[in-house]
Structure 1
Amino acid sequence: MNEREIPVKDASTVMLLRDGEPGLEVFLLRRVRGMDFAGGMTVFPGGGVDLSDADANLAWAGPPVSWWAQKFGVDEHRVKALVCAAVRETFEECGVLLAGPTPDTVVADTSGYRAARTALEKRELTFGEFLTAEGLVLRADLLRPWANWITPVGETTRRYDTRFFVAVVPEGQHADGDTSEAAAVAWSTPSAELAHWKAGGSILMPPTWSQLTALAGYATTAEVLAAEQVIEPIQPDLLVVDGKYKIDFPGDENYHLPASL
């Protein structure tokens, strides 16, 4: 298949936040090396939209689907899948569940859903089936739309049209690394992770680096949630300059590719 024919799949990523002692912190995963996409790289929780996400028949609290469609510039069927995928992937990858028994409550302890979490990850259970069986309401109001990045042409394995969301970890819940996709997890301030990356301690893709750079400008979770984001699709250009790969994207002046790419 020609590289330009690689299909672009919808994906959702959630930047989980908390107010920690050093300030605003974000939850990060280092993906297992050898994975088809972003193996060994440090990322936020997230993944591709599943076909069942679009057809999920579930209770919904918060801004209506039409509001989300306007924010991300897509139709309602597609954006419902993106929001459902954001909540589902966050639960699968780190055990944080943005849902509750009523429209104004949220689950305080997700440990009782361990079996369902495993079944979701194995695609033995759909997210809509899980929420309905447990009598839970998806809390779309706990999410905020943040950004939209598209994998550049030239990526030879997978390409994604990814919507980024932000959310604060609900009180009583704990993010973990109990997923087959994560080699390690950690909470970090955006500035500390950027310094770690600059020193060669991690690999950050342009979207991750860009969002960390943006988050470094906020002091608290309240400030992030109150931010009014103008979301415009960003698709970096992957170039070869003097025999080396270079990625061009808005605000890339301080970004560099790892020497091993």
Structure 2
Amino acid sequence: MAGLRLPDELAERARGIIAGHVDPAPARDAATVAILRQGRPDGVQAYLLRRKATMAFAAGAYVFPGGSVDPRDTDQAVAWAGPSPAEWGRVFGADEAVARGLVCAAVRETFEESGVLLAGPGPDSVVADTTGDGWEADRLALIDRDLSFADFLAARGLVLRSDLLKPWAHWITPEIEVRRFDTRFFVAVLPDGQRTRDVGGEADQVVWQRPAEAVELADRGEIFLMPPTRQTLAELAGHDGVASVLAEEREIVTILPKVVEVGGEWRLVTG
């Protein structure tokens, strides 16, 4: 139970929460997607973004694409193919509306932050290329919230492919944090023909990285990974290809790291 040692300001906040003087911030529903591709010649590679140092949350961290659920993500007008919101709700322990929003946010945020779109003209197809000027204009309109994801799909005659997502994990930001998220993690394989690109925005660098290498870099202090990202990468590192990842049976267990006092130090532990 070594855990992570808390900096003084978070240790003080932890004392306040435990004493009842400080109320924890509510956790916002969010979705994160680990985009994977088959390594050359073997193994798995994951797409990671480095968040800008100026970001209020997880500044400088290497993360998967993702973000908060937009209220419009729960719109029943979103064209849909694959497992239903009710089925996703059973997997993640959420009601149907929340589940719809999570899956929609997962696909929308992935497109906004990587250019990868898990949607197609029909239930058995996927967009082959999203690199044109028109796609870029739509991506920026989604980021600015000038365009809803439902309207974006409808205008292009596309359906969301929920079957291209695999549920992976469920993490809730610790109560000591000022900004908190109730995040469901997904994995998805880069569709044939599509490619990621440096889309800017909240990130200042993007990279395809073998999961084991990313963990090693973090352990050496060369990059910063938050605990959920590190654990996900460590789990992915145990697979020799994307087919193995997709075949893994997952039981989604909610992880909410807790604060404990160990030897006079305040630490964050996950179990």
TM-score clears 0.5: yes
Q: Which has the larger radius of gyration?
A: 2
SS in structure 1 of the partner of residue 163 of structure 2: helix
Q: What code does the residue aligned with 2:32 have? A: T
Q: What code does the residue aligned with 1:83 have? A: V
Q: What code does the residue aligned with 1:75 have? A: D
Q: Does residue 1:89 correspond to 2:109, yes or no? A: yes
Q: Distance in 1 between matches of 2:265 and 2:150?
A: 45
Q: What code does the residue aligned with 1:220 have? A: G
Q: What is residue 218 of structure 1 aligned with on the other side?
A: 239
Q: What is the aligned-residue RMSD (CA, Å)?
A: 1.5
User: Structure 2 length as normaliser, TM-score?
Assistant: 0.88
Instruction: Name which of 46, 50, 73 aligns with 1:26.
Output: 46
Q: Does residue 1:131 correspond to 2:150, yes or no? A: no
C-alpha deviation, 1:242, in angstroms: 5.8
Q: Distance in 1 between matches of 2:158 and 2:204?
A: 30
Deviation string for 1:5-34 (max 9, x for gaps)? 311100000000000115211110110012
Instruction: Name which of 224, 236, 257 aligns with 1:236.
Output: 257
User: Structure 1 length as normaliser, TM-score?
Assistant: 0.91
Instruction: Name which of 121, 138, 155 aligns with 1:116.
Output: 138
Q: Which runs of 5+ in 2 are unaligned?
A: 1-16
Q: Distance in 2 between matches of 1:97 and 1:189?
A: 22
C-alpha deviation, 1:102, in angstroms: 1.1
After TM superposition, which residue ranges in structure 1, 4 or more long, deviate above 6 angstroms? none
Q: Does residue 1:162 correspond to 2:183, yes or no? A: yes
Q: Which runs of 5+ in 1 are unaligned?
A: 251-261
Contact persistence 2:115–2:197 (CA under 8 A): yes
C-alpha deviation, 1:101, in angstroms: 0.8
Q: Distance in 2 between matches of 1:50 and 1:243?
A: 41
Q: What code does the residue aligned with 2:38 have? A: D
C-alpha deviation, 1:177, in angstroms: 2.4
Deviation string for 1:13-68 (max 9, x for gaps)? 00000001152111101100121111111111100001110125122111122211
Contact persistence 2:30–2:69 (CA under 8 A): yes
- How many residue pairs align between the two structures? 249
Matches within 5 A, 1:1-261: 3-21=22-40, 23-112=43-132, 113-156=135-178, 158-239=179-260, 241=262, 246-250=267-271
Deviation string for 1:86-131 (max 9, x for gaps)? 0000000000000011111000100231100000001110101100
Q: Distance in 2 between matches of 1:100 and 1:64?
A: 16
